[in-house]
Amino acid sequence: MEVIIRSTYEEMSKVGAQIVADVLNTKPNSVIGMATGSTPLGVYAELVRMHREEGLDFSQVTTFNLDEYVGLPTDHPQSYHSFMHEHFFQHVNIPPQNIYIPSGTTSNYNAFCEWYEQRILDAGGIDIQILGIGSDGHIAFNEPMSSLASRTRLKTLARSTIEDNARFFDKIEDVPIYAITMGVGTILEARELLILANGKNKAAAIAGAIEGPVTSMITASALQLHPSVKCCLDADAASELTMIDYYDWVQEKKPGAPRL
């Protein structure tokens, strides 16, 4: 895992966006896994800026979102369909037919989840998956004790996740209790993973995910099993890591490393 620490959220977001842009510049028809939540907003804003000002082209891109709340219609302001449209899709040139977001309103969740997994395979797999992390260490909505081999499925959200996300709703009772989420196993099949975290309330989860044992109690720790992970943090999210000097040393020495 490559751990990249920047002092501010803005700097961290710029690094994250550049990592995505590098994938896209190498492979214009990349398949990008998208995440919602406050964390990736800075990355999306920077990618939109690159699209507008530098011509970063999304015309051949396909996207798959990690998750969606169950029960919210797609046009509900807090649905992840609305979120993605508002913060990213309406600002770039991804063909609408190439955008996949799990359905929170299907009548057959099992069939939908199987179809979603198949669509990812048909698209050739995900080239880079963007991830946030929950304060309970979840990736997507894979709450503690989710199988590290799990696939896309219906999940019951943890109380802590409902409390964390209540800030987006009028009252906590309005937060959905269930979600459709890609599984940890689904996420680990992406060729490259980019996990982002900022703020003190993520510091413990990040320390557990990066330096703790691999455990389904912190599903983000499964990323230790993946061969190509970049972890972009601000200083607050990195504050409980014990090996910061080493991570910074590796970054500092990178330009001099032998070319692969």
Show which residues are catalytic. 67, 136, 138, 143
Question: Is 102 a residue that touches ligand PGA (CB under 6 A)?
Answer: no
Among 39, 63, 150, 186, binds ligand PGA (CB under 6 A): 39
Q: Which is nearer to ligand PGA, 31 or 209 (CB)?
A: 209
The answer to whether 132 contacts ligand PGA (rule: CB under 6 A) is: yes
Pick between residue 94 and residue 132 the one whose CB is nearest to ligand PGA. 132
Asked if residue 208 binds ligand PGA (CB under 6 A), the reply is no
* Window of 9-17, 36-44, 87-95, 176-184 that interacts with ligand PGA by CB under 6 A: 36-44
- Residue 224 as a binder of ligand PGA (CB under 6 A): the answer is no
Question: Strands, DSSP E only, in 21-61?
Answer: 31-34
Are β-strands 153-156 and 178-181 bridged in parallel, bridged antiparallel, or unpaired?
Answer: antiparallel
Position closest to ligand PGA via CB: 37
Phi, psi of 3 (to 5 degrees): -105, 120
Burial class (CB in 10 A: 0-12, 13-18, 19+), 230: middle
**How many degrees, rounded to 5, is the angle at CA 205 between CA 224 and CA 174?**
120
- In the chain, what is the greatest distance between 2 CA atoms, to the nearest angstrom? 55
> Cβ–Cβ contacts within 10 Å for residue 60, how many?
14
**∠ Cα 157 162 165 (to 5°):** 125
Q: Does 37 bind ligand PGA (CB under 6 A)?
A: yes
Q: Which stretch binds ligand PGA (CB under 6 A): 13-21, 35-43, 102-110, 144-152?
A: 35-43
Phi, psi of 180 (to 5 degrees): -100, 130
The answer to whether 38 contacts ligand PGA (rule: CB under 6 A) is yes
- Part in contact with ligand PGA (CB under 6 A); list of ranges 83-91, 122-130, 132-140, 228-236: 132-140
Residues engaged in binding ligand PGA (CB under 6 A): 37-39, 132-134
